[in-house]
Amino acid sequence: NTVKMFARVPTTATVTRSAVVPARGYAVKPSGLKERMDALVPEKIAEIKEVRAEHGSKIIHKVTVDQCYMGMRGIKSLVTETSLLDAEEGIRFRGLTIPDCQEQFPKPAGTSEPTPEALFWLLMTGEVPTLEQTEALTAEWNSRAEIPKHVEEVIDAFPKHMHPMSQFSAAILALQTESEFARRYSEGMPKTEYWHAAYEDSMNIIAKCHVVASRIYRNLYHDGKHIAQDNSLDYSANYANMMGFDNTEFHDLMRLYLVIHSDHEGGNVSAHATHLVGSALSDPYLAYSAGMNGLSGPLHGLANQEVLKFLKDLQVELGGKDVTNDELAEHCRQILGSGRVIPGYGHAVLRKTDPRYSCQREFALKHIPSTGLIKLVHQLYEVVPDVLLAAGKAKNPWPNVDAHSGALLVHYGCTQENYYTVMFAVSRALGVLASLTWDRALGLPLERPKSLTTEWIKNNKTWFE
Question: Are the beta carbons of 116 and 236 closer than 8 angstroms?
Answer: yes
Phi/psi at 84 (5° precision): -145, 130
Burial (CB < 10 A; 0-12, 13-18, 19+), residue 334, is exposed
Phi/psi at 131 (5° precision): -60, -40
Question: Are the beta carbons of 47 and 64 closer than 8 angstroms?
Answer: no
Q: Give the whole-angstrom CA distance, residue 102 versus residue 415.
A: 27
Q: What is the DSSP letter of 13?
A: S
Question: Are the beta carbons of 427 and 116 closer than 8 angstroms?
Answer: yes
* Catalytic site positions: 300, 347, 402
Q: Map residue 20 onto helix, strand or coil.
A: strand
Neighbours of 135 (CB within 10 A): 18
Phi/psi at 93 (5° precision): -90, 110
Q: Give the whole-angstrom CA distance, residue 274 versus residue 287.
A: 5
Question: Are the beta carbons of 104 and 411 closer than 8 angstroms?
Answer: no
Handedness of CA 55, 96, 285, 193 (dihedral sign): negative
